Every structure is written in structure tokens, then in C-alpha cells.
Amino acid sequence: MSILNRRQVVGGTIGLAAALSAGILPSRAASSLVVPSYGGRWGKFWSQQIIPGLTSATGIEPTHDVGLGKNFVANIRAGGGASPYSIFMGNENIATMLRQEGFFEPFDAAKLPNVANVYDNFKNPGLNGVRGIISPIGIGYRTDLVKTPPTSWDDLWSNPEFKGKIGLYQIGNTAAVLFLLLTARLYGGSEENIDVAFEKIKQLLPFEQVSWSGAAAASLVKGDSIVAPVDWGEVIALKKKGAPVEMVTPKEGVIAFEQSFNLVKTGPAKDDAHKYLNYILDPKVQEEFSGTLYTSPCNTQTVLPAELQREIPILGDRMKDIISFDWAAYMPKVAEVADRWNREMQ
């Protein structure tokens, strides 16, 4: 993990729009706010756009912490009576685990004016967590190697040309858990009853297993797999570079990485954490996320340009097509599922 300090004040329409939306008059202020983000395209986006825009809009100069979700979890747990983070960002299943362990507390809606326009299904009860970045996972495939493009999740099982050429995530990635629960839901199981999902997924063996979204997309490009559940943005980025890949929205709906923002009880800068999340939720900033990372805006007031709408089909009323799960019900099975997957998916 690397810690990068960003001392930049960058003007721009996004920062100004967010400032006006939040009702904030920017003034430079030293802050103990630590902003965690992933690396790669995400880390670059945070360091070059999100953090400078936040500073321009609010005057807050945070520390940027680049790492993986497991690093952020370890740092919160190791903090004892004091957390290095005032706000946590991670997939909702990981956030649920920390929430159950008592590390989080609800946000103050009065300090988050933009949350009023977030789709209700992305706000946890009591505002104890807000899912502010939504990355749909559809089915990616090689246009030059697939004769019959998929239209349904069931095609992974029923289309014989996919046998032995499917890419899936390793169970340590949230996407693998999402796919497991989706399979259970589609074939008569549930978060508590996942036996049917294991039996169905074993029918797909042998399959390529990767650890993260970039690797899933790369597997398609290399031809190690010709079809795979994958983060929408990764495939769009490759397509723009000329790769023969395409994405489809399965008729049953999509799953998604839902980045959950949570207020850490023992964090040192809670007011700044509210301002940061309010900035993330701003409709213009959500548009910038869509334009850079191809995420689906969580703010009902975000309007994307027509060209971008064609690239990101999960918008507006279609946000209901995102299949959600009861993570609290699933949490007791985490260790059991990881062990079973590693034994059986070989």
C-alpha cells in the first residue's frame, strides 16, 4: 500500500458545481481526512480529478491512501481505539462485515444534501452506509470467437461453444461471491441456501479463474476465455482500444460492484468525511465517474450525454435491474464458502 499526499488546488467546473450543490464556500484547510481508493485507473482518477476537485470545492486537502479493500479493512481493525480513516470505501459485502463488527455509525443527512437524490436502494437503513459508486457486471464476450452472443446468464450453461472457455473470478473477489449468489437465486437457492449454486457452477468446469476485473478483461483479450462475467467499465475501455470484445445485459438483470461509503466511529475528521461523500454524490461528479470509469450514476439528477448513455445502458429506471443481495444473511457463510470453493472449483 502506498500513501500519497496531494497538495493541489485545481479549478474546474466539477469542483465549482459540487461546491454550489453542497452550499459550501471553499477555503483551504488542513485536514486529517484520509481518502482510500483502489489503484490502477481508479487511483489515477482519484489523484488527478477527485481529490483536486474536492479541494477546489471545499478547501479540504486530504491524504490519498491507495490500496486494496483488504488493506483498508486491516487498517481499521488494527486501529484499536483510533482509526486512520474517517470514511471507508469498499464493496457492500465487506462493509456489511465491518458494520456488524461495530466499526461504523450512521451519516447525518443534514450534512449530506446530495444524498436526498440517491436512489433509495443504495441507501442503507438509517443511513448507515451509502453506496455511491455502482459498477455493473454483465457478460463480456469475444465478438470474433463467439458465434451466438449470450443474452441470458443461463447461456453460460446452455451454449455448448462456451464449454471450457468461460472466465470466472476467484472466490477472494467480490464478483465471485456475487456470481455465486446470483446462481443460487436463478436456480432455486438463496443467500442461506447455496448448495444449488455450487452444483451449477461445477458444471462449468474447467474455467479460467482470475483475481480482479482487469485480469478478467485481459483473459478475454488473450483468448484464455471467450465469455465471462466482468466489470462493464473494463470491457468498454478495451473496446475503445480496438479489442474485439462486447458487453451484454442479461435478460434476468445484472449484478454490480457497489462501493459502500461508511462513517467510521473512531475516525478523526467526521465533518470532512461528510463533505467528501457529499462531493462524491454530486450529480456532476457522478457524471465524471461515468465518463471515466463507466459506472452507473447513483444520483437521480445526473444526466449523461447521449453518447455515454449508449455505452452505459444501466441508467435511470434500469437501476432496478441491478440484483441486490441480503449480505447480512450471507455473512455467517463467508469462511465456509471460501473453503468449499477452493476445494471444489478445481
Q: Please count the structural domains in the chain.
A: 2
Half-sphere exposure of 177 (CA within 13 A, CB side): 24
Same domain for 113 and 198: no
pLDDT at 112: 98
- Domain hosting 198: range is 135-255+324-344
- Looking up cell 464478483 gives 175
Of the candidates 156, 302, 321, 342, the residue with the CA atom closest to the CA atom of residue 232: 321
Predicted model pTM: 0.87
Same domain for 334 and 188: yes
pLDDT at 13: 37
The whole-number mean pLDDT for each consecutive block of 10 residues of the chain, a chain of 346 residues, reads 33 40 48 92 96 97 92 87 91 95 97 97 97 96 97 98 96 94 96 95 95 86 95 89 95 95 95 98 98 96 94 90 92 95 94
Same domain for 328 and 236: yes
Same domain for 330 and 313: no
CA separation for the pair 60, 63 (Å, rounded): 10
Same domain for 141 and 113: no
CA separation for the pair 145, 335 (Å, rounded): 37
Same domain for 266 and 182: no
pLDDT at 30: 62
Q: Which helix (H) or strand (E) holds 36?
A: strand 29-37
Same domain for 328 and 198: yes
Same domain for 298 and 154: no
Same domain for 290 and 185: no
Same domain for 264 and 243: no
CA separation for the pair 302, 152 (Å, rounded): 29
pLDDT at 31: 77
Same domain for 308 and 190: no
Three-class SS state of 104 = strand
- Looking up cell 436526498 gives 116
pLDDT at 28: 52
Is the Cβ–Cβ distance between 177 and 326 less than 8 Å?
Answer: no
pLDDT at 25: 42
Apex 233 CA angle, 6 and 298, nearest 5: 75
pLDDT at 148: 98
Same domain for 278 and 144: no
Question: What is the CATH classification number for the domain harbouring 333?
Answer: 3.40.190.10
